[in-house]
């Protein structure tokens, strides 16, 4: 079967369609000041009413253009001057362009979107959010710009507290979210007890966030994909940026090298005082750093149309308590990758890459009485991806991925016996998908992943095919209807204790051999209505059914009992949003109604992140002369918790030789049915105000944020031992200073 599919794919790639009365325009759109690619820029041909968006690499292709004519092309991007140019098209040829857009001045914010209404009519992008770094910067921040905290404003994305940057997508647990940096998996993306992201936003060029319905090119997770593309670095001149917040200091250096450029960022924490606000004035002895770099090289005299990229990312956290009765933690990430991206003479793109991603973490109990944990994961991946666009605008994508993973978890069981989960496996995947785009108002993205070998040796390893389907239909110029289905599987999971309020350290393991491999089926349906050129209404409904999820076995008594068991999950809901984008004003309002369940041994309960109602309102405005104002209001209905039903005096025989008059009884908490209680509602208003100063030799930015403006007392949890109420963030002003040379 696989041989037949490969042969069919080979034929499709090698044979061009017979329609030769057309030409093709292909190009890349970049910033004129630093040559950074501009992802999702709008490109349109006026005479044909056709066009395209640039992809994450800045490239676009417009095919099936009648030859022998010269066309007016319009290129636009938010924050840049619109560019008009004339393009000649030749029969059966690809016209290559490099288009440089000039950033608009601070006072010039009105940007045309000429091609937008004609380029998205059959785009298969259900449940996809595309976010640029400029969007992250205008959102009010907790302490500093943070990508994970920012995406929580999207409908369908849920959080459990102000304390954690962890997020949950459409009823899935946090380990079901795939996080990629330039195509490489990041296993532990958090700093400081999970309070902040380990990814410095200053290195981000663009971000694609799939809440569901993601294509065959992605795999290994059940819920979502965050695909981050980093900046290349300034190809025109050297630059230096530095910033400081209440939490950390950062520096960025970039500049040209022969036939390329480089960029390097570094961040280091230097104060823990602000972190006390997140944990009820308790000391948080967190010490962290992260370093990222990227080199790129492109020389037409070496290999025409090629681009070589080298990436590195390194981060580390060390939480060291002076109290010997409080456990310590430490973990680190190390990533390195090499990629070769090639643009062919025909409408063909391909990329070949190799990467290494290592994660190491440890929980050190000292005298706390907790159990030690030590986890090591090594991931070596080879990739080959191909894309070919036919003359009729259809597109075929192929990929061959090999992933070698070694994981080792050291722990202790209920009898304090050492246990070790050590596994090594190879995942071999062939994916193929076909985009049917030749009909203007219909788009179909159909594909599948074929798993030739499995990481996990467990049951269900032979479930090798993961079909994917995404359909778009536009019956009217202002109405777009979309639907998607996908089957997904996940062979690596985290060891999570659902009874903990904060999970500081979540080790990764390959699914044990005695368990089934987790599988999820997802159905999504939605639509968008363009009420005007500046006002858009969208709605999506989803249903997810997961089987063979991996849970910790809380009923383990004997050493022979398994540490983990299989269970199921189910979630469904609806998401609704309305967006008004008319620079300098942008307004977004969203509402999510969601239901999430977990099922173990036939018992159905709510997970801790199940919230019924969520409302997000965001507003930002460019006030001119470098001033920017933003506001965010969020509302969440109460999260589940397990209620206390009573106490009794339990006899603890800790000392068999204690005198008879020593009472060894202590109160023991009796808990009710898991997560049947609900916390009070949560709501909060955040404001931000920033000012940019542009001097002849440097740029200076001052940003002031106020968190929880009206000081809402949002409960975090009750301490079961003391009865103390612990609240989330109070009224908290913060400030950040940035300097750019």
Say what the pLDDT of residue 3 is.
46
Q: Are 107 and 181 in contact (CB under 8 A)?
A: no
Domain ranges for the chain: 2-119, 128-226, 227-639+679-740
User: Could you tell me if 34 and 235 are in contact, meaning their C-beta atoms sit under 8 angstroms apart?
Assistant: yes
Pairwise pLDDT comparison (420 vs 405), residue with the higher score: 405
| CA distance to 509, 553, 564, 650, per residue, from 495 (Å) | 7, 11, 9, 30
Q: Give pLDDT, residue 456.
A: 74
3-state helix, strand, coil in the chain (%, to 5): 5, 55, 40
CATH 3.20.20.70 applies to domain 128-226? no
Is the pLDDT at 538 greater than 90? The verdict is yes
User: 81-94: per-residue pLDDT in tens?
Assistant: 899 999 988 887 88
pLDDT of residue 373: 85
The model's confidence at residue 664, banded by pLDDT at 50, 70 and 90, is low
What's the pLDDT band for 553 if we cut at 50, 70, 90?
confident
490 and 508 in contact (C-beta within 8 Å)?
A: no
DSSP 150-189: HHTTSTTEE-S-SS----EETT--GGGEEEEETTEE-S--
> HEC profile for 609-640?
CCCCEEEEEEEEEEEECCEEEEEEEEEECCCE
Digit-coded pLDDT (tens) for 627-648: 989 899 999 998 898 877 777 7
500-515: average pLDDT: 80
Q: What is the pLDDT of residue 107?
A: 36
More reliable by pLDDT, 422 or 708: 708
Give the residue among 672, 561, 557 at the shortest CA–CA distance from 606. 672
Is the pLDDT at 414 greater than 70, yes or no?
A: no
Q: What is the CA radius of gyration of the chain?
A: 27
* Burial class of residue 493, CB neighbours in 10 A (0-12, 13-18, 19+): buried
Q: How far is CA 76 from CA 101, 229, 372, in A?
A: 8, 21, 55
639 near 608, Cβ under 8 Å?
A: yes
Residues 555-603 have pLDDT tens digits of 777 777 888 899 999 999 999 999 998 888 999 999 999 999 999 988 8
Q: Nearest 10 degrees: CA dihedral of 311, 406, 491, 574?
A: -30
Phi-psi region of 107 (alpha: psi -120 to 50; beta: other; left: phi over 0): alpha
Which of these CATH numbers, 1.20.1260.10, 3.30.2270.10, 1.10.3470.10, 2.40.170.20, describes 227-639+679-740?
Answer: 2.40.170.20
Pick the closest to residue 333 from 186, 227, 226 (CA basis).
186
Which residues, other chains included, contact 621 with Cβ-Cβ below 8 Å and sequence gap of 6+? Answer: 584, 585, 586, 628, 629, 630
Q: Is the pLDDT of residue 337 over 90?
A: yes
Question: What pLDDT does residue 663 have?
Answer: 66
Rounded-to-integer distance, Cα 118 and Cα 99, Å: 20
pLDDT at position 644, please? 76
pLDDT-derived band at 15 (thresholds 50, 70, 90) equals: very low
335 has pLDDT over 50:
yes
How does residue 116 score in pLDDT terms, banded at 50, 70 and 90?
very low
- The band of 737, judged by pLDDT with boundaries at 50, 70 and 90, is confident
Helix (H, G, I), strand (E, B) or coil at 726: strand
SS3 19: coil
375 and 508 in contact (C-beta within 8 Å)? yes
Torsion, CA 16, CA 44, CA 21, CA 393, rounded to 10: 30
The percent of residues in the chain predicted with pLDDT above 70, rounded, is 86
Query: What's the CA gap between 274 and 278, in Å, rounded?
Result: 8
Separation in Å, CA 153 to CA 107, 150, 207, 588: 28, 6, 15, 10
Q: What is the pLDDT of residue 656?
A: 60
CA atoms within 13 A on the CB side of 198: 28
For 154, phi then psi, to 5°, come to: -80, 145
Helix (H, G, I), strand (E, B) or coil at 5: helix
Residues 6+ apart with CB under 8 A from 721: none
Task: Return phi, psi of residue 494, to 5°.
Answer: -100, 155
The structure tokens listed for 273 are: 């005082």
SS3 for 467-487 is EEEEEEEEEECCEEEEEEEEE
272 versus 219: which is more confidently predicted? Answer: 219
Residue 651 has pLDDT above 70, yes or no: no
Whole-number Cα distances in Å, 48 to 28, 45, 71, 360: 20, 6, 9, 55
Q: Shortest CA distance to 270 belongs to which of 245, 247, 241, 242?
A: 247
- Least confident segment among 423-437, 476-490, 629-643, 671-685: 671-685
d(CA 479, CA 110): 25
Amino acid 653: pLDDT: 60
pLDDT at 402 (0 to 100): 93
* Average pLDDT of the chain to the nearest whole number: 84
Same fold, 128-226 and 227-639+679-740: no
Residue 499 CB neighbours (<10 A): 12
In CATH, what class is 2-119? mainly beta
* C-alpha distances in Å from residue 569, one per residue of 172, 548, 704: 8, 8, 42
CA distances from 324 to 65, 319, 320, 504, 721 (A): 72, 13, 10, 18, 20
Q: Is the pLDDT of residue 710 over 50?
A: yes
Quick one: average pLDDT of 239-254? Answer: 88
Q: How far apart are CA 5 and CA 216, in angstroms?
A: 15
| Residue 125 token pair | 């992008």
Mean pLDDT of 309-337: 89
Q: What pLDDT, on the 0 to 100 scale, is given for residue 695? A: 82
Q: What percent of the chain has pLDDT over 90?
A: 36
Q: Cβ distance 679 to 608 under 8 Å?
A: no
Please report the pLDDT score of residue 293 as a whole number. 95
Q: Who has greater pLDDT, 257 or 694?
A: 257
Q: What is the mean pLDDT of residues 436-451?
A: 89
Average pLDDT over residues 132-155: 75
Which range among 114-118, 469-473, 562-566, 599-603 has the greatest average pLDDT?
469-473
């Amino acid at each position: 079967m696989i041989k037949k599919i490969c042969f069919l794919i080979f034929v499709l790639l090698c044979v061009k369609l017979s329609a030769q009365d057309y030409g093709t325009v292909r190009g890349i759109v970049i910033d004129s000041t630093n040559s950074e690619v501009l992802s999702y820029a709008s490109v349109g041909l006026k005479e044909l009413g056709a066009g395209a968006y640039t992809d994450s690499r800045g490239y676009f292709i417009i095919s099936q253009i009648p030859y022998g004519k010269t066309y007016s092309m319009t290129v636009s991007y938010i924050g840049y001057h619109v560019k008009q140019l004339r393009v000649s098209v030749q029969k059966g040829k690809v016209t290559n362009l490099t288009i440089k857009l000039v950033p608009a001045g601070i006072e010039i914010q009105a940007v045309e979107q000429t091609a937008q209404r004609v380029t998205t009519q059959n785009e298969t992008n259900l449940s996809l959010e595309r976010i640029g770094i400029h969007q992250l910067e205008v959102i009010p921040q907790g302490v500093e710009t943070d990508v994970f905290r920012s995406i929580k404003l999207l409908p369908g994305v849920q959080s459990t507290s102000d304390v954690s940057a962890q997020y949950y997508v459409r009823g899935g647990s946090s380990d079901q979210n795939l996080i990629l940096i330039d195509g490489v998996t990041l296993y532990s993306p958090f700093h400081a007890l999970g309070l902040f992201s380990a990814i410095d936003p200053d290195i981000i060029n663009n971000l694609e966030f799939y809440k569901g319905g993601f294509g065959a090119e992605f795999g290994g997770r059940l819920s979502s994909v965050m695909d981050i593309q980093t900046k290349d670095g300034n190809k025109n001149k050297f630059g230096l940026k530095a910033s400081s917040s209440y939490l950390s200091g950062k520096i960025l250096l970039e500049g040209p090298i022969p036939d390329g450029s480089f960029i390097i960022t570094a961040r280091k924490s230097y104060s823990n005082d602000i972190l006390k606000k997140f944990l009820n004035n308790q000391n948080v002895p967190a010490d962290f750093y992260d370093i990222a770099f990227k080199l790129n090289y492109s020389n037409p005299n070496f290999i025409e149309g090629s681009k070589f990229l080298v990436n590195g990312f390194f981060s580390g956290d060390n939480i060291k308590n002076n109290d010997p009765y409080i456990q310590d933690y430490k973990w680190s990430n190390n990533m390195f990758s090499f990629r070769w991206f090639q643009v062919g003479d025909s409408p063909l793109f391909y990329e070949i890459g190799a990467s290494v991603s290592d994660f190491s973490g440890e929980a050190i109990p000292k005298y706390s009485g907790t159990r030690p944990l030590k986890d090591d994961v090594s991931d070596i991946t080879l990739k080959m991806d191909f894309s070919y666009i036919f003359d009729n605008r259809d597109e075929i994508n192929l990929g061959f991925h090999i992933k070698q993973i070694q994981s080792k978890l050291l722990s202790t069981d209920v009898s304090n016996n050492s246990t070790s989960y050590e596994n090594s496996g190879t995942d071999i995947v062939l994916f193929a998908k076909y985009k049917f785009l030749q009909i203007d108002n219909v788009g179909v993205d159909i594909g599948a992943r074929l798993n030739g070998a499995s990481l996990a040796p467990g049951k269900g390893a032979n479930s090798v095919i993961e079909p994917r389907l995404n359909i778009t239909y536009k019956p009217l110029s202002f109405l777009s209807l979309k639907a998607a289905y996908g089957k997904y599987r996940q062979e690596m999971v985290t060891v999570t204790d659902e009874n903990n309020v904060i999970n500081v350290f979540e080790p990764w393991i390959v699914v044990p051999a005695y368990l089934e491999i987790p599988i999820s089926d997802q159905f999504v349906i939605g639509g968008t209505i363009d009420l005007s050129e500046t006002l858009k209404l969208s709605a999506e409904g989803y249903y997810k059914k997961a089987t063979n999820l991996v849970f910790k076995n809380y009923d383990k008594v004997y050493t022979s009992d398994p540490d983990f068991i299989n269970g199921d999950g189910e979630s469904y809901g609806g998401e609704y949003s309305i967006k008004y984008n008319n620079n300098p004003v942008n307004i977004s309002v969203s509402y999510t109604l969601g239901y999430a369940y977990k099922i173990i041994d036939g018992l159905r309960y709510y997970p801790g992140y199940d919230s019924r109602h969520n409302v997000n309102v965001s507003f930002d405005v460019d006030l001119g002369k470098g001033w920017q104002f933003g506001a965010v209001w969020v509302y969440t209905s109460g999260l589940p918790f397990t209620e206390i039903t009573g106490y009794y005096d339990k006899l603890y025989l800790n000392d068999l030789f204690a005198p008879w008059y020593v009472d060894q009884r202590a109160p023991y908490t009796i808990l009710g049915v898991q997560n049947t209680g609900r916390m009070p509602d949560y709501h909060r208003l955040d404001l931000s105000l920033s000012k940019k100063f542009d001097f002849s030799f440097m740029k200076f930015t001052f940003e002031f944020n106020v968190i929880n403006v009206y000081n809402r007392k949002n409960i975090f949890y009750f301490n079961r031992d003391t009865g103390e109420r612990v609240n989330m963030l109070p009224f908290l002003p913060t400030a950040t200073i940035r300097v750019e040379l």
